[in-house]
Amino acid sequence: MGAIMKKQLLAGAALSVLMTGSAWAEIVIAVAGPMTGAYATFGEQMKAGAEQAVADINEAGGINGEMLRLVTGDDACDPKQAVAVANQFAAEGVTFVAGHFCSGSSIPASQVYAEEGILEISPASTNPDFTDKRPGDNIFRICGRDDQQGEIAGKFLAEKFAGKKVAFIHDKTAYGKGLADATMAVYEAAGGKPVLYEAYTAQEKDYTALVSKLKQEGVDAVYLGGYHTEAGLITRQMREQGMSTVLVSGDALVTDEYWAITGDAGEGTLMTFSPDPRKNEEAKPIVDKMLAAGKNTEGYSLYTYAAVQIFADAVKAAGNTDLEALVKAMNEGTFNTVLGSLEFDDKGDVTLPGYVFYEWKGGKYDYLEQ
């Protein structure tokens, strides 16, 4: 081998070392949720928020000089798939996960994150067990909880439908059943007596039997613990049977897809969700930028954006991505986000304002005028 060729080889080797070296100057983070399946609209919201946050942070010079790289995991809201995704993230060297969406996914995945030392902030999982029974102090959420949502909804039903017939239905998931049960407990504590408590199976197309049962009972309001796809079909099928029953539900109806299923039948549907982050002054420039790029800003988009913001600020405060230092920064910090200023309590829950009521009108949801 000639000296020149040797030199070129050595130069090539040095260059590849340099390039690999620069590739290390990045922090791998992830977003996880239902990217496919019946609830893919929420995966789309989460992905849009995470991508925008990463782009904005990198554009501003990254975190402590390191760039963020985002990987995406699809759990299709399936617990087994969520665990597989979590293990995959661990293999890929992920430091932080903005996810998951469904509580039934977040709860088992959090076991993996606790074992593997990965910080998890869920933008959307509301089941109390997610933090009440968290397997490690590296598990957080920035949305509210079903018991807070149930508190608002249960009282509302007891007051607004006093002396009327109220039914409770749920889809048997950790989220849906948890939400219906929490709401019903508050409704009963306020003196309400449910006329029906019924479970249904998610992802079916025909809910005629359930709707007929609600009609037979002469139900004035039905509280649904579940997701927008089934809620939309049930609402439509109630209208088809000539019922004027009001559907009341939770935060899983914060997607335009709900109206795409119901059409005008969705008029007057009520739901609880946190104060709309799109109305925050701090969020306006980001919302405008995302809308201009044709990205989704509804529902949990900005919650996911905020999760990435919090991670970035925690790394800055900690000076590195060491989990112990990150958790300390999370527990001690006050974070200025697109959702407003927030802190975490000793369970990993957030100190943001709770839930408010929204009404679907003319294809959009907005605050309920009371």
Domain ranges of the chain: 8-144+279-342, 147-273
Residue pair 176/225 in contact by the 8 Å Cβ criterion: yes
- Band of the pLDDT at 91, cuts 50, 70, 90? very high
Task: Quote the CA–CA distance of 344 and 225 in Å, as a whole number.
Answer: 26
- Domain over 147-273 is classified CATH 3.40.50.2300: yes
- Taking only the tens place, the pLDDT of each residue in 233-251 is 999 999 999 999 999 999 9
Q: Which pair of tokens denotes residue 305?
A: 């954006």
Distances from the Cα of 366 to the Cα of 40, 56, 275, 285, angstroms: 22, 28, 10, 20
How confident is the model at residue 281, as a pLDDT?
A: 87
Task: Quote the CA–CA distance of 265 and 275 in Å, as a whole number.
Answer: 25
Distances from the Cα of 222 to the Cα of 157, 229, 270, 319, angstroms: 10, 16, 10, 51
- Taking only the tens place, the pLDDT of each residue in 324-345 is 999 999 999 999 999 999 999 9
- Taking only the tens place, the pLDDT of each residue in 190-206 is 999 999 999 999 999 99
**Structure pTM?**
0.90
The amino acid that residue 192 corresponds to is: G
Decide if pLDDT at 37 tops 90: yes
- Band of the pLDDT at 6, cuts 50, 70, 90? very low
- Taking only the tens place, the pLDDT of each residue in 53-87 is 999 999 999 999 999 999 999 999 999 999 999 99
Task: Quote the CA–CA distance of 255 and 247 in Å, as a whole number.
Answer: 16
Q: 74 pairs with which residues across the strands?
A: 33
- Band of the pLDDT at 354, cuts 50, 70, 90? confident
The dihedral of CA 184, 188, 190, 194: what is its sign? Answer: positive
Task: Quote the CA–CA distance of 358 and 347 in Å, as a whole number.
Answer: 28
Q: Comparing C-alpha atoms, which of 157, 155, 178 is closest to residue 245?
A: 157
Percentage of the chain modeled with pLDDT above 70: 94
Domain spanning 8-144+279-342 has what CATH number?
3.40.50.2300
How confident is the model at residue 25, as a pLDDT?
A: 77
Q: Do domains 8-144+279-342 and 147-273 have the same CATH topology?
A: yes
